[in-house]
Amino acid sequence: NAGVMQNPRHLVRRRGQEARLRCSPMKGHSHVYWYRQLPEEGLKFMVYLQKENIIDESGMPKERFSAEFPKEGPSILRIQQVVRGDSAAYFCASSLGTGNSPLHFGNGTRLTVT
Amino acid sequence: GESVGLHLPTLSVQEGDNSIINCAYSNSASDYFIWYKQESGKGPQFIIDIRSNMDKRQGQRVTVLLNKTVKHLSLQIAATQPGDSAVYFCADLPGPGTALIFGKGTTLSVSS
């Protein structure tokens, strides 16, 4: 049973380009979460999605960042016009979403903006 | 705002010792807590969870203690091994339909 799959593992973008990060949840999971982690720091919540719906985007910057989780296919975190401060590890997690169930994380995408 | 924090950023122990990692949380409404382990270059890995109607839960070599009175959570690792070296995060769930809130982490170093 495959876990949460994220790709690419590493992504290098120049300032001003777009970054697209993909996440396929665990089989049977319909809830997806995106977190961001800076070096030596904890994970900061960005956005929580259920199939085709954004449940909570309170941690995601209003500009340049967007997320989707379509009916078919992976969840996408999109960062437009990247800046150096966007360099970080971005982790996706999924859960069953029923009651208190743990989040299962992928191994992240490390974004470097040059 | 709410926050989940850890008391110590680093903890160094000898192989075979017991380790205790502490965490304080601020939201008294939180009713679900999880400990994660993160190794270098990897995502957080689930270790153990506990609900607010419990004060202790045991797993394999790990025990989580919850003290709701002082809003304190701890992770105990018995007979710590070099493979336990990692960063440990506590996380809490503020309520239904919310996402986990993470603390900053404690780096556990185990020497042989």
Structure confidence by residue, pLDDT tens digits, B1-50: 235 655 678 999 999 999 999 999 888 889 999 999 999 999 999 999 99
Give the pLDDT confidence score for residue B2 in this predicted structure. 39
Nearest alpha-carbon partner for B66 in B93, B43, B87, B106 = B93
In angstroms, the CA A112 to CA A72 distance is 28
Tell me the shortest Cα–Cα distance from B70 to chain A, in angstroms. Answer: 22
- The Cα-based distances of A109 to A26, A37, A88 in angstroms read 17, 10, 8
Q: Are A108 and A91 in contact (CB under 8 A)?
A: yes
Mutation test of the interface with chain A: which of B102, B104, B106, B107, choosing the one with the most A Cβ atoms within 10 A? B102
Tell me the shortest Cα–Cα distance from B17 to chain A, in angstroms. Answer: 25
Three-state SS for B84?
helix
Burial of B37 by CB count in 10 Å (0-12 exposed, 13-18 middle, 19+ buried)? buried
Give the pLDDT confidence score for residue B5 in this predicted structure. 59
Q: Judge whether A107 is closer than 8 Å to chain B, CB to CB.
A: yes
Structure confidence by residue, pLDDT tens digits, B57-94: 999 999 999 999 999 999 999 999 999 999 999 999 88
Residue located via tokens 């941690």 = A59
Tell me the shortest Cα–Cα distance from B51 to chain A, in angstroms. Answer: 8
Name chain B contacts of A105, Cβ cutoff 8 Å: 36, 43-45
- The beta-strand segments (E) located in A4-113 are 5-7, 10-13, 19-24, 31-37, 43-50, 53-56, 65-68, 75-79, 88-95, 104-105, 109-113
Residue B111 binned pLDDT confidence (cut-offs 50, 70, 90): very high
> Which chain A residue shows the shortest CA-CA distance from B44?
A105
Cross-strand partners of B3: none
Residue located via tokens 């960062």 = A79
In angstroms, the CA B23 to CA B79 distance is 20
Contact A105 B45 (CB under 8 A): yes
Residue A25 has pLDDT above 70, yes or no: yes
Q: Which amino acid is present at B42?
A: K
Tokens representing residue B24 in the block: 């304080």
3-state secondary structure A16-33: CCCEEEEEECCCCCCEEE
Tell me the shortest Cα–Cα distance from B42 to chain A, in angstroms. Answer: 5
Average pLDDT, chain B: 91
Q: Judge whether A34 is closer than 8 Å to chain B, CB to CB.
A: no
Structure confidence by residue, pLDDT tens digits, A69-81: 999 999 999 999 9
Name chain A contacts of B51, Cβ cutoff 8 Å: 100
